[in-house]
Amino acid sequence: MTDASLPGSADPSDPADLNGLTEAARRDLPDILDDLRRLVEKETPSSDKRLLDAGLDDLEAWLTDRLGDPAERVRHDGGADGDVLELLYPGDAGNTGHTADTGGEVLLLCHYDTVWPEGTLAEWPVSIEGDRFSGPGCFDMKAGIVQGVWAVRHLRALGLPVPSVRFLLNGDEEVGSPASRPHIERAGQAADVTLVLEPSREGRVKTGRKGMGLFNVTATGIESHAGLDPDAGASAVHALAELVPRMAALAAPERGTTVNVGVFSGGTARNVVAGTASCQVDVRIQDPAETERIDAGLAALAPSDGRVKVEVSGGWNRPPMNPGPSTDRAFAAAREVARGLGEDLGQISVGGASDGNLVAALGRPVLDGLGAAGAGPHSRDEHVSVGRTPHQVALLAGLLTRLAGDGRPPLGD
């Protein structure tokens, strides 16, 4: 790996310096793509602790090779889930004449786990064809990690101010962040602003996300022979099938609430009245008040056959992420940087949830979707746009130096 060294001092308010960031990212694009290949070729499925540990070991070695040893390092044990790694790099005023103490801290929130099982690379190897960098987990979200590291490298090399940056890398985002949630909330509460390096949506940042509830509904009936003694049984499958339309009816699209029964299973054999059945329910909400209505609706589920018992388990995994004044100010700063790079920056609210939801629920400023441009998350079409990568790196770098300034990022309430 080559060392990025860019000459000159810089002024973060000068559009010429922002152009320098883009030029640096274009020049170093081969190394950026090599780094992305390295991360993608270390498979890190959420369900495989062994691979997650090995992947995080390699990720840390690469990151410290690129940025040097951090001032603070802590690795939190994730138990059965992926560990959480925090690395803090203190701010640097660069060559601008500002005080050396840039004051505030920016949290770069990244997950290194993917939805792809071990062995996926064997049938879907990394490839670069035209504008497409393809490989499992490249878009969601290993490219964001790479872009975050290179953004800091370029700021240092150009002599631009860098805020104190805390990388938080977790290996359980795709399964709801059960182990990393308290660490994310603590770090998000302490940071002046959190930048989530999840993929962008067609180049737009995500300032809103829906909250998510993950529920399991289980019916327990009475087994019997379907031919010889059908009336002695109470079918859990029939009862639960009766309840599915009632669950779906809890959706309220006009309020931003959706309900999806994604998995349904039950019974033991064709000729047995089913003794058990279960389904998995995904609920998305934009309005926090909807949690009470949904909870009440699920609790009221009762089949017409009173012999069948119904139990609801699970709960709310992430609260909704709704923009407030501090997030509006963060977006305004990002949009100002984008204009300095010669483009307008859009924002969007999406149905998917991320770890940014957890920080936003604390009332802290969050910008999400500052990672890769591309498409196809969680699908075999997953890819990163090679041509847009330098702009995405420069946008993040420009926002970081804008947040550094000569004191704490002016984004808090």
> pLDDT confidence of 17, banded at 50, 70, 90?
confident
- Does 9 reside within a domain? no
- Does 197 reside within a domain? yes
Partners of 315 in the β-ladder: 214
Question: Domain count of the chain?
Answer: 2
Residues 222 and 229: their CA atoms lie apart, in Å, by 12
pLDDT tens across 314-357, in order? 999 999 999 999 999 999 999 999 999 999 999 999 999 999 99
Chain-wide mean pLDDT for the chain?
93
CB burial readout 282-305, b (16+ within 10 A) else e: ebbbbeeebbeebbebbeebebeb
Boundary-marking domain end, from 302, 318, 334:
318
Residues 287 and 316: their CA atoms lie apart, in Å, by 13
Both 236 and 325 in a single domain?
no
Instruction: For residue 321, say if its preceding peptide bond is cis, omega within 30 degrees of 0.
Output: no
Question: For residue 230, how many C-alpha atoms fall within 13 Å in the half-sphere facing its CB?
Answer: 5
Q: Is residue 100 scored above 50 in pLDDT? A: no
- Does 380 reside within a domain? yes
Boundary-marking domain end, from 296, 318, 340:
318
CATH code where residue 365 lies: 3.40.630.10
CATH code where residue 260 lies: 3.30.70.360
Lay out the sheet containing 164-170: strands in order across: 72-76, 84-89, 164-170, 105-111, 193-196, 366-367
pLDDT of residue 408: 43
Q: Is residue 361 scored above 80 in pLDDT? A: yes
Both 300 and 395 in a single domain?
no
Both 203 and 237 in a single domain?
no
SS (H, E, C) 12-23: CCCHHHHHHHHH
Residues 104 and 403: their CA atoms lie apart, in Å, by 8
- Does 131 reside within a domain? yes
- Does 5 reside within a domain? no
Boundary-marking domain end, from 272, 301, 318:
318
Both 115 and 260 in a single domain?
no
Residues 413 and 324: their CA atoms lie apart, in Å, by 9
H-type helices in 125-235, by residue range?
143-158, 181-190
The parent domain of residue 222 ranges over 211-318
At residue 164, the 3 state secondary structure works out as strand
Count of CB atoms situated within 10 Å of the CB of 63: 23
Both 226 and 370 in a single domain?
no
Residue 392: both structure tokens together: 């995405």
Count of CB atoms situated within 10 Å of the CB of 79: 11
CB 217 within 8 A of CB 310: yes
- Does 252 reside within a domain? yes
Distance of CA 251 to the CA centre of its chain: 25
Both 184 and 241 in a single domain?
no
- Does 413 reside within a domain? no
> Comparing C-alpha atoms, which of 326, 313, 321, 383 is closest to residue 348?
321
pLDDT of residue 2: 34
Residue 181: both structure tokens together: 């949630």
State whether the Cα torsion 211-108-125-45 is positive or negative.
negative
> pLDDT confidence of 306, banded at 50, 70, 90?
very high
Q: Which amino acid is at 254?
A: E
> pLDDT confidence of 104, banded at 50, 70, 90?
confident
pLDDT tens across 38-92, in order? 999 999 999 999 999 999 999 999 999 999 999 999 999 999 999 999 999 999 8
Both 132 and 216 in a single domain?
no
* Number of helices (H), then strands (E), in the chain: 11, 18
> Comparing C-alpha atoms, which of 294, 260, 309 is closest to residue 280?
260
Both 240 and 343 in a single domain?
no
Both 180 and 48 in a single domain?
yes
- Does 3 reside within a domain? no
Both 158 and 221 in a single domain?
no
Both 165 and 259 in a single domain?
no
pLDDT of residue 5: 32
Q: Are strands 366-367 and 193-196 parallel, antiparallel or unpaired?
A: parallel
∠ CA 31-32-33, nearest 5°, is 90
> pLDDT confidence of 4, banded at 50, 70, 90?
very low
CB 192 within 8 A of CB 106: yes
Both 274 and 312 in a single domain?
yes
